[in-house]
Amino acid sequence: MSSPLRLGIAGLGTVGIGVVKIVQKHAGLLAQRSGRPVAITAVSARDRRKNRDADLSAYRWEDDPMALALAEDVDVFVELIGGDAGIAKDSIEAALRSGKDVVTANKALLAMHGQELAELAEGLGRVIRFEAAVAGGIPVIKAMTESLAGNRINRVMGVMNGTCNYILTRMESAGLPYEEVFEEARQLGYLEADPTLDVGGIDASHKLAILSSIAFGTRPAFDAVEIEGIERVSIDDIRRAADMGYRIKLLGVAQMTARGLEQRMSPCLVPADSPLGQLAGGTNMVVVEGDSVGQIVLRGAGAGEGPTASAVMSDVIELARGVRLPVFGVPATSLSDSQPARTAVPAAYYLRMELLDKPGALAKITTVLGDAGISIDRMRQYGHKDGSNVPVLFVTDRTTPEAIDHAIETLPKTGVLASDPVELRIEEV
């Protein structure tokens, strides 16, 4: 059997310890499947005294990840530190320059600096693998770069943040307001240290930018993603959407059009009986549509020790087998700059508003919609007491985002709205 593939693991949080456990538990299985042993040589983390629920005594400890990146007895530098710059980026660059391949779970770094790192790696004849950076244990990177390589990808979409999906499904199942479920998620440890990375849609948008690059052969363009989080989704929206046969998801969508690359991350309505509509809890789902294969649905755990460590190890095994691919599936120098485009694809929309209890109020609203060229598919007016505000819900026929924007801008001028209207796109899935 060949010599061992030697790993240096930088970062011993949840995922790093998960990788250690897999290597220790499945040493024989990994060697059998890889054709060579996989061994951990050294590790690095901030505090060596911390109890990490794993025996690390057999591995050399490096206080500085840079020392690990430069170590001569490491073949693959496994970066699990996190962060879009700083020591994570510096140590990856050092590892590549010292002749090592890299495995990382760092979505923010790849979304922000992926092009630069890919060009560096490929120029040095090295490899960066990052299955764990998108959707946890779901093998979506491998599926897109290898299994679907014979397809022109038409659209990529999905639920890519388990915390947001947990919050939205918990709101529906328990009938709880956003603020209460947000606090519950925080107490359970589901939220990042900066919660806006989750609920603000930033974490999921990092993942979407990476998938867009692979799908459409473009340079990662995180700054071009239109981002809206779930903070404004209310329990009323959850209930009204369900009443109409929909569920609300934080949905990422990317597609190449004649106008350019559309990338958006926003709360959308999806049919309750669709695969995305049925997705509950912290589970992730990615839907890929190819011209030959049609629609592929990938579903699984999007985070956690086991699933994410499993994805890290899939990359390690590929390297042990000698599989060497360009970082984003094609040579980095061939990736094109994308033209960012705001979506112009027509869709139905959910509109919720509260009207003042005035004669002719509803007629004024429908006139604005009609003047914007928006037809109404369904409308519901919910019960109210005399003198109180009147809850009204519309589901429109397919219309353009421009028409919806015009209507939303015009509606307050009618003088019959009790509060700002809420509009959510209904995505065809």
Task: Examine the domain organization and report whether 209 and 358 are in the same domain.
Answer: no
Give the range of the structural domain holding residue 57, as residue numbers without chain letter.
5-104
Task: Examine the domain organization and report whether 155 and 70 are in the same domain.
Answer: no
Say if residue 202's pLDDT is above 60: yes
Q: Which of 141-145, 158-162, 302-306 has the lowest mean pLDDT?
A: 302-306
Of 50, 85, 104, which closes a domain? 104
281 found inside a domain: yes
pLDDT of residue 191: 86
Tell me, what CATH number does 150's domain have?
3.30.360.10
Burial classification of residue 300, based on how many CB atoms lie within 10 Å of its CB (0-12 exposed, 13-18 middle, 19 or more buried): middle
Rounded-to-integer distance, Cα 6 and Cα 197, Å: 33
Rounded alpha-carbon distances, angstroms, from residue 366 to 76, 272, 388, 396 = 62, 27, 20, 11
At a CB cut-off of 8 Å and minimum separation 6, what does 361 contact?
A: 355, 390, 414, 416
Read off the pLDDT of each residue in 304-322 and give the average, rounded to a whole number.
96
pLDDT of residue 387: 65
pLDDT tier, 193 (very low <50, low <70, confident <90, very high otherwise): confident
Percentage with pLDDT > 90 across the chain:
89
Say if residue 27's pLDDT is above 60: yes
Say if residue 317's pLDDT is above 90: yes
pLDDT of residue 160: 96
Of 242, 268, 302, which closes a domain? 302
19 found inside a domain: yes
Contact yes or no for 36/3 (Cβ under 8 A): yes
242: phi then psi, degrees, rounded to nearest 5: -60, -35
pLDDT in tens, 39-51: 999 999 998 888 8
Q: Which of 60-64, 185-189, 259-263, 367-371 has the lowest mean pLDDT?
A: 185-189
Say if residue 386's pLDDT is above 70: no
Task: Examine the domain organization and report whether 18 and 100 are in the same domain.
Answer: yes
Rounded alpha-carbon distances, angstroms, from residue 253 to 24, 177, 286, 397 = 39, 26, 10, 20
Q: What is the mean pLDDT of the chain?
A: 95
pLDDT of residue 209: 98
Task: Examine the domain organization and report whether 77 and 149 are in the same domain.
Answer: no
Read off the pLDDT of each residue in 119-130 and give the average, rounded to a whole number.
98
Rounded alpha-carbon distances, angstroms, from residue 134 to 31, 110, 130, 144, 230 = 26, 10, 8, 12, 20
Catalytic residue (choose from 89, 207, 249, 385): 207
DSSP per-residue string spanning 239-290: HHHHHTTEEEEEEEEEEEETTEEEEEEEEEEEETTSTTTT--TTEEEEEEEE
pLDDT tier, 326 (very low <50, low <70, confident <90, very high otherwise): very high
Domain count across the chain = 3
9 found inside a domain: yes
Contact yes or no for 108/84 (Cβ under 8 A): yes
Q: Is 100 a catalytic residue?
A: no
Rounded alpha-carbon distances, angstroms, from residue 74 to 8, 71, 105, 291, 320 = 6, 6, 18, 42, 13
177 found inside a domain: yes
pLDDT of residue 388: 79
Task: Examine the domain organization and report whether 154 and 242 are in the same domain.
Answer: yes
pLDDT of residue 385: 66
Kindly give the interhelix angle for 305-321 and 27-34, rounded to the nearest 10 degrees: 40
Read off the pLDDT of each residue in 254-277 and give the average, rounded to a whole number.
95
Tell me, what CATH number does 357's domain have?
3.30.70.260
